[in-house]
Structure 1
């Protein structure tokens, strides 16, 4: 158990989470649901806009202070007229979150976003995800597994793995039914630090939340692990209904 905990600490590094390696520039405004969660102007985690005032992210992205949530961005450093900024006035992690289990959190924004060409909602995908299915994840995380931040939003294709295959590759780390695993098409391709909390998008809906990966980003020997959104649909609906 101690070995697993140490591995996850090395993987997650607190709230710093994960970056895209081996990906590509996303076309401007092609992922209008993407959110950048920032601390004092620095990107820390990703998220996706599911209601004008709510963004799901990873529970391990929770901080003691208050996030600034940036929507409508392509470059986080350029002065883009499409950007909208909000304070996260409430952080609501799943009540059963522990280490890498139930790694999902909802952020309530200080006001409702204005929907534009660059800022749009994404629906939550329900139902089963088949092994071999083709999905996509995006983020502003590390592109070189060395602390190198991208100039623009990055994206990478993801192939869903069978649960048994993922469990076998991760060995002693429990891969539960509330998780889904994926690998990139290349030998080293996937998410990395700073991508945590971003969406796994399958068939146009948010099917997962970036949770944890191995010591080396994008290594198929330790497949990328996402929180399975459909496992938490009732909890998400309850939080949105009561807020």
Structure 2
């Protein structure tokens, strides 16, 4: 798993093959108003979800050197859209027990330097309180690059996800340490799911964020190594405590 995680970071910055939603589709315009784009130096590096007007939840491995810009209200990251709102990051708050080697507790909160104005294109998403069960149908989305030349998709991409049981995920990942604080999922067909540029984006089940894009295998969407998300319900108390104390 450590090797996969190192590759994850390399692909985010180098735009290597597979750094995108694979086998997905254009999301209907502004249909995912909770989506946030995390950018450093004008480059999209990770996704996130707006859970309060001044807080975004994302993955801890998305913490990199540089000055962050957080964009909400976007459909296309390149088009000049009046719905977009941009913010700086006042604080980056990774989980205190984040383990980058074993990729555990891979979750982070970003406190914005101002509060987002809620509009039709900018909305909050709730935190799923209960555990997502196997065979649940969910969705993930992102703006990861779509080829080796760092080409961004014209619009936000999304893909349907079916949840696997923890036991089934452990069997497929072999020696990798899949914990109960993780969720595994796969697309409807082989090589369909998230990939490296979509890190930090939300797994949405029943209209609430149930997971955070964490890691995948060497080949994105490969059914032999299902996509892995950080389970929101395992960290809901930590999230609400941090937000309420801010």
**Normalised by the shorter chain, which TM-score bucket?**
over 0.9
Verify the 8 A CA contact 2:11 2:197 in the aligned structure 1. no
Distance 1:192 1:35 in 2: 17
Q: Does 1:22 align with 2:23?
A: yes
- Report what 2:141 is aligned to: 138
Following superposition, the deviation at residue 12 of structure 1 comes to 3.9
Instruction: Please give the alpha-carbon distance, in whole angstroms, between the structure 2 residues aligned to 1:72 and 1:206.
Output: 17
Q: What's the TM-score, normalizing by structure 2?
A: 0.94
Question: RMSD in angstroms over aligned alpha carbons?
Answer: 1.6
Q: Is the 8 A contact 1:142 1:192 kept in 2?
A: no
In the superposition, relative to structure 1, how do residues 223 and 146 fare at CA in structure 2: closer, same or farther (>3 Å)?
A: farther
Other-structure match for 1:174: 177
Partner Cα distance (2:193, 2:9) in 1: 15
- How far does residue 66 in structure 1 lie from its aligned partner after superposition? 2.3
Structure 1 equivalent of residue 131 of structure 2: 128
Could you list the runs of 5+ residues in structure 2 that have no partner in the other structure? Answer: none
- Structure 1: how far apart are the matches of 2:156 and 2:137? 20
Question: 2:51 aligns to what SS in structure 1?
Answer: coil
Tell me which residue corresponds to 1:82: 83
Q: Residue in 2 aligned with 1:11?
A: 8
Q: Secondary structure at the match of 2:233?
A: helix
Q: 1:242 offset after TM fit, Å?
A: 1.0
Q: Match of 2:222, SS? A: coil
SS for the counterpart of 2:241 is: helix
Matches within 5 A, 1:1-243: 4-13=1-10, 16=13, 19-99=20-100, 100-144=103-147, 147-243=150-246
- After TM superposition, the runs of 4+ consecutive aligned structure 1 residues lying more than 6 A away are none
Which SS does the other structure have where 1:119 is aligned? coil
Q: Does the Cα contact within 8 Å between 1:33 and 1:119 map onto a contact in 2?
A: yes
Deviation at 1:149, TM superposition (A): 2.3
Aligned residues: 240
Deviations 1:147-181 (A, max 9, x none): 44211000000000011111111111100010000
Give the CA deviation at 1:133: 0.2
Q: Deviations over 1:73-95 (max 9, x none)?
A: 00000000100000011000000
Cα distance in 1 for partners of 2:4, 2:53 equals: 36
Change beyond 3 A, Cα 1:179–1:11: same
SS of the residue aligned with 1:194?
helix
Alignment TM-score, normalising by the size of structure 1: 0.95
